[in-house]
Amino acid sequence: MSQFDYDLFVIGAGSGGVRASRVAAAFGARVAVAEHYRVGGTCVIRGCVPKKLLVYASHFHEDFEDAAGYGWTLTEPSFSWPLLIASKNKEIGRLEGIYAKLLDGSKVTVLRERAVIADAHAVMVGTRRITAENILIATGGWPFLPNIPGIEHCMTSNEAFELAVQPRRIVVVGGGYIAVEFAGIFKGLGSEVTLSYRRDQILRGFDNDVRHHLSQEIRKKGILIELESSIRAVEKMPDGTLRAKLERVQDERLIDCDAVMYATGRLPATKNLGLEAAGVKLDGEGGVIVDEYGRSSVPSIFAVGDVTNRIALTPVAIREGQAVATTLFGGGAPVSVDHRDVPSAVFSQPPIGTVGLTETEAVEICGEAEIYKTDFRPMKATLSGRDERTMMKLVVDAKSQRVLGVHMVGGDAPEIIQGIGVAVKAGLTKQQFDATVGIHPTAAEELVTMREKRLVGRSAG
């Protein structure tokens, strides 16, 4: 008989925590998971899923316009924000129910309360002390808000999903994927959008050609991008609207708007969890420091997902959760997760799909790289008359000819990159790409027909 109440106690019922719980239970472990909000976590409740639904909704504005070029005559369309949010909430509720059923079907005990670490083998859930041989932290991340005057009048993506009224004018602060995605959502649904970012270009960390191409495309759609700018204060006016003080390199200006949304990053949700007192080491942003198997500095405490401050993507958290459960209860060798060449997408408009190294990273690692790039008008735009261009790029190791990175901005980029991610992960060469017959007429065929190259790196001069 075990001396512990459970073999595994999970704090957080998001994607990583749910997967770890179910896999561990399938191995025969006694598992409990504590969740103080809603089952499903950031992705299902206030992240990837509702965001993608809103992205779909925002596309219809251009789709209706484009239809005219294809012979369709439409009456003037109308849009209802409350109806969209109600439909979104219904779907999120359905998915939450599925997650709950999966846990119940796996015989995982679900505690709808907040849990706090008491020591290496115990948690406090309310006034109850519950013991566990192993504890898994899967609490995800939380939006960061700066300390500026009037920040209490601003919102994050969390609140944006629940707005009762669509803002007619909105300022989105930030330049990462959440910022550009929501800028596209609100613009597509008819809001006037200003995007303020403190650096010289959006999407820091992405390939530079991707960054510049998307910046040009979203400007075409009417989004005002204020680079090298910061919001220094937000004031609520007597009529309920907001006034944001925007500081730029050359001057300052005031922006009257109906909402200010901050998308300036997310931090690991580790505050007041009792981790430090239990001896768990955290990084400078509060992320749990773990080894390749998800184990923290306390051998019985593990962590997966955004709370570890590594790659903040749902599929990564799921893989990490499964790996921890398999390592602990699978009966075999420890299982780690390979964090290299993880494909990702930005559901901007147009969207981005990317996998592997950027051009800059490839030069730093390999010394020399071959770059293949194409920029073209997609076929759909020929009859619609829309001024939109697609960009694709291959980054190739000049010596081995291995394709190190693939980047795309354009329609269906996330769907295309999922398949290309397999090729990059498998280490395919440019010659193998060249030997693959394209599917015509598609945008994706460009990925296997690019032949013109430029050399970058040590011998590029």
Peptide bond into 268 cis (omega under 30): no
Q: For residue 144, is pLDDT > 70?
A: yes
Q: What is the mean pLDDT of residues 148-154?
A: 98
Interval 66-112: pLDDT, tens: 999 999 998 889 999 999 999 999 999 999 999 999 999 999 999 99
Q: Determine the pLDDT at residue 382.
A: 95
Output the six-digit token pair for 373.
């790039």
What percent of the chain has a predicted confidence (pLDDT) above 70?
A: 99
Q: Reply yes or no on whether the pLDDT at 406 is more than 70.
A: yes
Closest CA to 402 of 358, 370, 364: 370
Choose, from 36, 153, 213, 440, the residue flagged as catalytic.
Answer: 440
For the chain, give the percent of residues with pLDDT over 90: 98
Domains of the chain: 6-143+267-329 (3.50.50.60), 151-264 (3.50.50.60), 344-457 (3.30.390.30)
Give the chain's mean pLDDT. 96
249 pLDDT higher than 90: no
Contact assessment for residue 280 and residue 297, using Cβ atoms and an 8 Å cutoff: yes
440 as an active site residue: the answer is yes
pTM: 0.96
Q: How far is the C-alpha of 108 from the C-alpha of 452, rounded, in Å?
A: 56
| CA distance linking residue 234 with residue 152, whole number of Å | 9
Measured CA to CA, the distance from residue 39 to residue 130 in angstroms comes to 20
Q: Residues 388-395: what's their mean pLDDT?
A: 98
Both tokens of 343, joined, read: 């494909």
Provide the residue type at 427 as one letter: G
The per-residue pLDDT for 375 is: 97
Average pLDDT rounded to a whole number, residues 27-39: 96
Looking at residue 135, its pLDDT comes to: 98
CA distance 300 to 295: 7
Residues 273/137, Cβ–Cβ less than 8 Å = yes
- For 45-68, the pLDDT digits (tens) are 999 999 999 999 999 999 999 999
Q: How far apart are CA 342 and CA 187, in angstroms?
A: 30
Could you tell me the end-to-end alpha-carbon distance of the chain, in angstroms, rounded to an integer?
Answer: 71
Q: Look up tokens 């749902």; give the residue.
A: 314
What is the CB neighbour count within 10 angstroms for residue 320?
Answer: 30
pLDDT range class, residue 181, cuts 50, 70, 90: very high
Confidence of residue 383 (pLDDT cuts 50, 70, 90): very high
Q: What angle do CA 138, 139, 142 make, to 5 degrees?
A: 140
Q: How far apart are CA 334 and CA 44, in angstroms?
A: 29
pLDDT digits (tens, 9 = 90+) for 413-426: 999 999 999 999 99
Residue 344: what pLDDT? 98
Q: What is the pLDDT of residue 376?
A: 97
pLDDT band at 458 (very low <50, low <70, confident <90, very high): confident
Is pLDDT larger for residue 460 or for residue 331?
A: 331
pLDDT of residue 1: 56
Asked whether the predicted pLDDT for residue 264 surpasses 80, the reply is: yes
What one-letter code names the amino acid at 215?
Answer: S
